């Protein structure tokens, strides 16, 4: 199953692969993307198999095969070729890959730009048999087989024999190219994950317990936040530059929303908690909090805070004592 959601210059592309399904049409990615992979299972505590992704980076001649598990983040640079495979062993295991990316430089802004190298929509198959045969120095019959044998479009199911032929993942490549974010709060920039610099993006994961709230935050460098609700449910409020609510809505797992440049966002978890994965359109974002240890309000002198908010010294003292404990 494939799903597209577009918000202005940002898009989400979701790919669901059931066991032994492979996205084998070889995506040629023309935009820098950040992929979050989530294994959706009937019981989160049960054992699950790993997914696989194979990639060929621009200006290289080597395929890199990587092992995936729940919570993995993979930045994919401009011009990469990739395939995705669900190595699950039963019909209950589904591999969900969420593609999040900024699309200002796309062929059509607001949409991911990619093409296929195999299958019925392959660009290679668009060339004449004569051109393909000459390009690869093969016969026309061989060229016909290369471009027309695969009747699948995007996703195909492999037989048991074909499954055993899938390349094995490299532990070294997996360690280098994949970062797992499954703790309560994690922010990944190029400092923590140098490979993000090639994608020009960064990522963060926030897990809130039931009825917990995340302090209002904003980006101070004109970047945009794309937020995917990976689990649970809750309420989101976004405030614009005019000091008015731009968004006040309930969200649940699978929802996506965008926080524009300089807008402030706060998240309140529901009774089952809330898990949000964010992509930020910079590999070195400047994020500011209004509560917590790095709060700008908490850094102000007591006198200035009292004057600015027009509150009593007692209320100012209470606010200052609480503001950095959140």
Residue 30 pLDDT more than 50?
no
Residue 290 pLDDT more than 70?
yes
Closest alpha carbon to 246 in 234, 232, 235, 260: 260
Q: Which two tokens stand for residue 147?
A: 């471009």
* pLDDT score recorded for residue 47: 30
In this chain, the answer to whether the domains covering 2-177 and 182-288 adopt an identical fold is yes
* pLDDT score recorded for residue 138: 94
* pLDDT score recorded for residue 315: 93
- pLDDT class of 15 with cuts at 50, 70, 90: low
Instruction: Report the pLDDT averaged over residues 232-236.
Output: 95
Q: What is the Cα–Cα distance from 93 to 245, expressed in whole angstroms?
A: 40
Rg of the chain in Å (alpha carbons): 23
* pLDDT score recorded for residue 89: 58
Q: Return the domain boundaries, the chain.
A: 2-177, 182-288, 291-326
Distance of CA 186 to the CA centre of its chain: 14
| pLDDT tens-digit series, residues 114-158 | 788 888 888 888 999 999 999 999 999 999 999 888 888 777 778
- pLDDT class of 212 with cuts at 50, 70, 90: very high
DSSP letters spanning 191-245:
TT-TTHHHHT-EEEEEEE-TT-EEEEEEESSS--EEEEEEEEEEEEEEE-TTSSE
The domain at 182-288 falls in which architecture?
Sandwich (2.60)
pTM of the predicted model as reported, rounded to 2 decimal places: 0.66
How far, CA to CA in Å, does 254 sit from each of 40, 127, 175, 209, 290?
Answer: 11, 39, 28, 18, 27
| pLDDT tens-digit series, residues 32-65 | 444 444 333 222 222 334 688 888 887 888 888 9
- For the chain, give the percent of residues with pLDDT over 70: 79
| pLDDT tens-digit series, residues 102-126 | 677 777 777 777 788 888 888 888 9
- pLDDT class of 273 with cuts at 50, 70, 90: very high
Residue 22 pLDDT more than 80?
no
Check if the beta carbon of residue 34 is closer than 8 Å to that of residue 101: yes
- pLDDT class of 208 with cuts at 50, 70, 90: very high
- For the chain, give the percent of residues with pLDDT over 90: 21
Q: Domain 2-177: give its CATH superfamily.
A: Jelly Rolls (2.60.120.10)
Residue, of 73 and 149, whose pLDDT is higher: 149
């Amino acid at each position: 199953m494939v799903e597209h959601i577009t918000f202005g210059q940002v898009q989400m592309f979701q790919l669901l692969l059931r066991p032994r399904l492979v996205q084998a049409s070889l995506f040629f990615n023309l935009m820098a993307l950040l992929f979050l992979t989530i294994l959706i299972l009937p019981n989160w505590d049960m054992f699950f198999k790993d997914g696989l992704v194979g990639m060929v980076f621009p200006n290289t001649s080597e395929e890199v095969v990587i092992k995936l598990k729940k919570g993995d983040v993979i930045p994919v640079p401009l011009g990469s070729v990739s395939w995705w495979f669900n190595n699950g062993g039963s019909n209950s295991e589904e591999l969900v890959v969420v593609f999040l990316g900024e699309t200002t430089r796309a062929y059509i802004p607001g949409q991911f730009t990619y093409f296929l190298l195999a299958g019925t929509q392959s660009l290679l198959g668009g060339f004449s048999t004569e051109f393909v045969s000459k390009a690869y120095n093969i016969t026309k019959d061989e060229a016909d087989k290369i471009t027309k044998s695969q009747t699948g479009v995007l996703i195909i199911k492999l037989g048991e024999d074909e499954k055993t032929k899938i390349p094995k993942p490299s532990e070294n490549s997996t360690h280098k190219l994949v970062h797992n974010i499954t703790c309560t709060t994690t922010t990944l920039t190029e400092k923590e994950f140098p490979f993000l610099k090639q994608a020009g993006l960064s990522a963060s994961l926030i897990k809130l317990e039931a009825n917990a709230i995340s302090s209002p935050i904003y980006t101070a460098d004109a970047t945009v936040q794309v937020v995917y609700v990976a689990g649970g449910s809750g309420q989101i409020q976004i405030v614009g530059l005019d000091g008015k609510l731009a968004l006040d809505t309930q969200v649940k797992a699978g929802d996506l929303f965008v926080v524009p440049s300089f807008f402030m966002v706060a998240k309140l978890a529901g009774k089952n908690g809330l898990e949000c994965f964010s992509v930020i359109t910079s590999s070195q974002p400047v994020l500011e909090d209004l509560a917590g240890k790095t709060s700008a309000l908490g850094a102000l002198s007591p006198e200035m805070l009292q004057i600015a908010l027009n509150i009593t010294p007692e209320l100012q003292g209470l606010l200052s004592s609480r503001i950095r404990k959140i």
